[in-house]
Structure 1
Amino acid sequence: MEEKEVKLGTKTKLLLGVQHVLAMFGATVLVPFLTGLNPSIALIAAGVGTLVFHFCTKGIVPVFLGSSFAFIGALTLVLREEGIAAIKGGVVAAGIIYIIMSILVKIFGVEKIKSFFPPIVTGPIIMVIGFRMSPVALSMAGYANGKFDLKSLIVASVVILSMITITLMKKSFLRLIPILVSVILGYAVSVMLGFVDFEPILNAKWIGLSHEAASDMFTMPKISLSAILAIAPIALVVFIEHIGDITTNGAVVGKDFFKNPGIHRTLMGDGLATIAAGFLGGPANTTYGENTGVLAVTKVYDPSVLRIAACYAIVLGLLGKFGVILQTIPQPVMGGVSIILFGMISSVGARTMVDSKLDFSNSRNLIIASLIFVFGIAIDNIIIWKTVSVSGLALAALVGVLCNKLLPKDRELMINKKLD
């Protein structure tokens, strides 16, 4: 049953837009921090991507797009090895994968495509994404050579404890912005401990991108096969996340977005938004679960509010001093956030398998999950031809999809019979 639409005044919409952008802000800028991309560009890319998404979906789906966590490992690796131009090419390729998936969904139906990515494949892959990034989180929190730096540990601990406290709060809007609040508290403690240098903030201009951000934005994408193979295949995993987000969003709003505008349109919107992000120099876009949380709390489902939030994100990204403030956030602050975040990503993967009630007494499921874990965690990247390499995550996803289709489903594998 559809929820009754509430007529909102312009001032109310503007205020609600602030609320939405706050809820999405922390997660959106966290991804560029962890990957080395520019947070101001990420905000602009999120805003532009959201507007593109709304255009593709006839302006009826109340969704905000932001930086996808699934791409963190691949983006970090490619940026370090090949630079921003290769990142742009890889993200654009990921957007093209989304568009291809939208066309396939339109032709064959969503269930047919989903059969290639069941929980036994997507669950372990999501877990691998979190596992692969865990050492980075501890390193940012000050852990090296078997011990923590004391000041870094204090900052990271404040962030972790504040996130835990906020998450456990009941009936509080703060529960929707735990990353933002914990980063602000961690930043304050960092100032007291002497981690923050205010000189770049004082020297920055009020309006306009920094020189580094402008350089990144106007760099042309480079077609690098190794970068494309590392980044683009991850879109196949996020495809399932997208379907789940749109399903949940529709359930909260009381509308069937699979019928109108259609999941093929939402995928197309996600793909074009990601392509736009790629050309701008931002991380790949995705639909945000935090967005659905805000809708559930406020009971306001007007898509125009999300478009206002998108405009706020673009404006924030163009404020020079604000961008420099983001860049002065110390690593231990983001390290504290990352410790919880990467653990939660892995936990979501485990929950995916638990919710689907997978039977791990069946050796078929054990083998698929085992292969994904080993290939995904143990291999950073593998050279397949000259300078062309594939990330361990992409290889694990390919192995999982193939095993799921090739191993028998209607009976136990021979290995089980031998064990009996």
Structure 2
Amino acid sequence: MIENSPPMPDSPPPEEVDPTAYRLRPRDIVLGAQMLFVAFGALVLVPILTGLNPNVALFTAGLGTLVFQLVTGGKVPVFLASSFAFIAPIQLGVEQYGLGETLSGLAAAGLFYLALSLLIFWRGPGFLSRLLPPIVTGPVIMVIGLSLAPVAVNMASSASETYTVGAALGVAGSALLATMLTALLAKGWLRLVPILVGIAVGYLVALPLGMVSFAPVAEAPWFAMPGFTAPVFHLPSILFILPVAIAPAIEHFGDIIAISTVAQKDYLRDPGVHRTLLGDGIATTLAAFFGGPPNTTYSEVTGAVALTRTFNAGIMTWAAIIAMLLAFVGKLGALLQTIPLPAMGGILVILFGTIVVIGINSLVQAGQDLTQPRSLVIVAIILIFGVGGLSLQAGAFALEGIGLCGLVGVVLNLILPQARGEEGDA
């Protein structure tokens, strides 16, 4: 007979793994590729529209995401890529000053984020919202979208030697319709990629109309160094682009709040919005030094995180690595350049209109009464100065369009007296 033996100690319960903790696992490579796929359409659209190199944009998006993770300690599951807010300034800057000069303005925008992050660290997050309330940022965001409206219409109706205006409008309409239907009716992953679906449908419709030539793809090598471009210091370009950085800085708060809600973690406190904004700023300046567009957190990827419930930022590391590897595929860049202008124009009708609606919505959510004299004056001046393209020049110094109206809005908000009952507006 076996004597009673002492009871075996209970095995320790398995430790609960924090789903938001950073883990870099090979099994997550596929998830990382999916996240890049979600952001891909919008990511490459900005460089194609602005004349920048899409392969460079892929490289700087990946590099920017890795830098953001280093600055924030790998705590926030976001992917950084091309910012739509800078489309108009880049287009106008390249036309007026040149590519290298415009890149110096974009690099300065990143340094502006760095300065803001230090101010937020010193004064707290409320400082920025007091300096840049919705009564200023809302109209500036609207100006960005409205100033781009002619670009979308011209691209959608652009004819050439090989196709007519009617054919261009047909392709643009098909891309626009596909984007709308995907955004409204699609389910699951498909709903997260309306831009990509719109580009694909427009591309397929354009093929039989002779609007696509694959000669550049055939000539391009499989492996090629991205066409990196260095910035050239140019003060007028810096002064022109710098005020545009105000609106994306404000939107950054919304992006961090959105991903905090999805992951049920307060990223505004840990790692802190000063660190997330600093990550955006360093990524934007680095991108400019390579010739890429400014970086920003992508709401499409936030939607994908909410859908898949994958809060591990290591997945974004894989997305970043894959993006950087794809940047060296020469044929990919050549293929992206073959997308017909009308197809992109159709999509931009929605995208640029969305920017305007975001500006309006920020005013609505803030409860702004635009009939109050002070609010009416600020919004009216910002809109007319911005959409009208007012320009102030003094020698090499130039301030115009979005930059001018943004600066005027900040100044007006600071100097105009508050009327009774309006104390909460600014």
Per the normalisation by structure 2, the TM-score is 0.91
Q: Which amino acid aligns with 2:420?
A: R
CA deviation profile, 1:300-319 (whole Å, cap 9, x unmatched)? 00000011111111112210
Partner Cα separation in structure 2 for residue 172 and residue 376 of structure 1: 39
Quote the offset at 1:391 in angstroms.
2.5
Q: Name 2:402's counterpart in structure 1.
A: 393
- The secondary structure found in structure 2 opposite 1:115 is helix
Partner Cα separation in structure 1 for residue 293 and residue 98 of structure 2: 13
Partner Cα separation in structure 2 for residue 373 and residue 186 of structure 1: 33
Q: Name 1:164's counterpart in structure 2.
A: 180
CA deviation profile, 1:144-203 (whole Å, cap 9, x unmatched)? 8xxx80110111011000011101125321111110111111111111111111111011
Q: Name 2:45's counterpart in structure 1.
A: 30
Partner Cα separation in structure 2 for residue 194 and residue 230 of structure 1: 39
Partner Cα separation in structure 1 for residue 419 and residue 154 of structure 2: 46
Q: Closer, same or farther in 2 for the Cα pair 1:201/1:143, shift >3 Å? A: closer
Quote the offset at 1:399 in angstroms.
1.1
Is the Cα contact below 8 Å between 1:21 and 1:309 reproduced in 2?
yes
1:365 counterpart = 2:365: no
Q: Name 1:97's counterpart in structure 2.
A: 112
CA deviation profile, 1:10-43 (whole Å, cap 9, x unmatched)? 4541111111001111111111122111111111
Match of 2:69 among 45, 54, 67: 54
Partner Cα separation in structure 2 for residue 23 and residue 117 of structure 1: 31
- The secondary structure found in structure 2 opposite 1:232 is helix
Is the Cα contact below 8 Å between 2:78 and 2:297 reproduced in 1?
yes
Partner Cα separation in structure 1 for residue 157 and residue 127 of structure 2: 46
Match of 1:324 among 323, 328, 334: 334
Is the Cα contact below 8 Å between 2:113 and 2:249 reproduced in 1?
yes
Q: Which amino acid aligns with 1:395?
A: L
CA deviation profile, 1:67-113 (whole Å, cap 9, x unmatched)? 11111111001111222211221111001000000000011111012
1:74 counterpart = 2:89: yes
Residue correspondence of structure 1 range 293-304 to structure 2 within 5 A: 293-304=303-314
Quote the offset at 1:383 in angstroms.
4.1
Q: Which amino acid aligns with 1:168?
A: L
Quote the offset at 1:410 in angstroms.
3.7
CA deviation profile, 1:376-420 (whole Å, cap 9, x unmatched)? 1001x624221331131111111111111111224289xxxxxxx
Quote the offset at 1:331 in angstroms.
0.5
Is the Cα contact below 8 Å between 1:74 and 1:391 reproduced in 2?
no
Quote the offset at 1:358 in angstroms.
0.8
Q: Name 1:315's counterpart in structure 2.
A: 325
Q: Which amino acid aligns with 1:403?
A: L
Q: Which amino acid aligns with 1:92?
A: A
Gaps of 5+ in 2: 1-15
Is the Cα contact below 8 Å between 2:230 and 2:291 reproduced in 1?
no
Q: Name 2:5's counterpart in structure 1.
A: none
Q: Name 1:184's counterpart in structure 2.
A: 200
Is the Cα contact below 8 Å between 1:250 and 1:257 reproduced in 2?
yes
Q: Which amino acid aligns with 1:409?
A: Q
How many correspondences in the alignment? 402
- The secondary structure found in structure 1 opposite 2:393 is strand
CA deviation profile, 1:95-134 (whole Å, cap 9, x unmatched)? 1000000000011111012211111111111111010000
The answer to which of 230-239 and 332-341 deviates more is 230-239
Q: Which amino acid aligns with 1:172?
A: G
Is the Cα contact below 8 Å between 1:229 and 1:391 reproduced in 2?
no
1:285 counterpart = 2:301: no
Q: Closer, same or farther in 2 for the Cα pair 1:271/1:333, shift >3 Å? A: same
Structure with greater Cα Rg: 2
Q: Which amino acid aligns with 2:174?
A: V
Is the Cα contact below 8 Å between 2:230 and 2:290 reproduced in 1?
no
- The secondary structure found in structure 1 opposite 2:104 is helix
Partner Cα separation in structure 1 for residue 252 and residue 138 of structure 2: 14
The answer to which of 78-87 and 118-127 deviates more is 78-87
Partner Cα separation in structure 2 for residue 220 and residue 318 of structure 1: 18
Q: Which amino acid aligns with 1:327?
A: Q
CA deviation profile, 1:359-380 (whole Å, cap 9, x unmatched)? 123111111100000101001x
The answer to which of 267-276 and 220-229 deviates more is 220-229
Q: Closer, same or farther in 2 for the Cα pair 1:308/1:9, shift >3 Å? A: closer
Partner Cα separation in structure 1 for residue 122 and residue 396 of structure 2: 36
Partner Cα separation in structure 2 for residue 178 and residue 310 of structure 1: 21
Is the Cα contact below 8 Å between 1:37 and 1:282 reproduced in 2?
yes
Partner Cα separation in structure 2 for residue 65 and residue 409 of structure 1: 38
Q: Closer, same or farther in 2 for the Cα pair 1:294/1:409, shift >3 Å? A: same
1:258 counterpart = 2:273: no
Q: Name 1:223's counterpart in structure 2.
A: 233
Partner Cα separation in structure 1 for residue 398 and residue 338 of structure 2: 34
Match of 1:204 among 211, 220, 237: 220
Match of 1:83 among 90, 98, 109: 98
Per the normalisation by structure 1, the TM-score is 0.92
Residue correspondence of structure 1 range 3-152 to structure 2 within 5 A: 4-5=18-19, 10=25, 12-142=27-157, 149-152=165-168
Q: Which amino acid aligns with 1:29?
A: V
Partner Cα separation in structure 1 for residue 274 and residue 300 of structure 2: 22
